[in-house]
Amino acid sequence: MTNDPLHMITYSDQVRVLVAVDCIIFGFDGDQLQILLIKRGFQPAKDQWSLMGGFVGKKETLDGAAERILFELTGLKDVYLEQLSAYGSPERDPIERTVSVAYFALIDINTYKTQISDRYHAEWFLINEAPSLIFDHNNMVEEAKKRIRYKAALHPILFELMPTKFTIPQLQNLYEQVYNAKIDNRNFIRKVNSTDLLIKLTEKDKSSSKRGAFYYTLDKNKYKAKFQSFLNFIPNPENLIS
């Protein structure tokens, strides 16, 4: 048995495989939840839609590779990035066996640098209108959505998607898109306010109503401090997840 650690002195008789990183990049523009995809410009699966990915470099960590790939596509650094899972089915890449470590990112689309991404033929898609993807990328996206729903029910990660200035109706809109559910407006405001995470600004956004909605910013310190708290924004999330 070649995989038996007891009888191995070196690793010489083991298979080496490619290791890649794929990023599921979620974005919000204050209105719609979107996902960033690229059209592959090379074989295999040329001209098909795909997640942004790449191989892990010689001296790179997995997190480092994910950060690099995200930066190459969006021009952004210091973005919320979390490892989703590793995918390693032997047939997942038809050219050569490749283990892929998937990461998901949450970004504010307004900070996205479009000029950098042009060379990758990147495009934003509404979360419910995204095309079918190559290999097992559809599965990765599904699992990423599930993870976000799970996590956002308990922790304030969706704030990572919001613009620096945002309104509470915008925030509620995002939650409604993530959970595909209508949320009671009065209860939502109460919960958001009770977290004490937001700082109310004097300025208003008048684009969506006559009265206008106050802008808020995130109190970053409180956000970091309370991130692990179980906020329970979403009542009975188990009814909505998956």
Partner DNA sequence: AAATTAAACGTCAAATTAACGATTATTAAT
Partner DNA sequence: ATTAATAATCGTTAATTTGACGTTTAATTT
Q: Does 229 bind DNA (CB under 7 A)?
A: no
Please, which residues have CB within 8 angstroms of residue 148's CB and are 6 or more apart in sequence? 26, 104, 106, 157, 158, 178
Is residue 212 close enough to count as binding DNA by CB under 7 A? yes
Q: Which of 184, 196, 225, 229 binds DNA (CB under 7 A)?
A: 184
Of the CA atoms within 13 Å of residue 185, those in its CB half-sphere come to 5
Contact segment (CB under 7 A) with DNA among 20-28, 40-48, 105-113, 164-172 equals 164-172
**Nearest to 56, CA basis, from 86, 26, 24, 77:** 86
Structure tokens at 33: 């939840």
156 cis-preceded (ω within 30 degrees of 0): no
**CA separation for the pair 209, 198 (Å, rounded):** 21
Angle between the 168-179 and 137-154 helix axes, to the nearest 10 degrees?
A: 130
The answer to whether 167 contacts DNA (rule: CB under 7 A) is: yes
- Interface residue with its own copies among 25, 36, 37, 56 (CB under 8 A) is 56
Binding flag, residue 59, DNA (CB under 7 A): no
Q: Taking CB under 8 A as the criterion, which residues in 154-193 touch its own copies?
A: none
94 binds, among its own copies, DNA, none (CB under 5 to 8 A by kind): none
Site residue total, its own copies (CB under 8 A): 54
According to the binding rule CB under 7 A, does residue 235 interact with DNA?
yes
What residues line the site for DNA (CB under 7 A)? 167-169, 184-187, 189-191, 193, 204, 206, 208-214, 232, 235-236
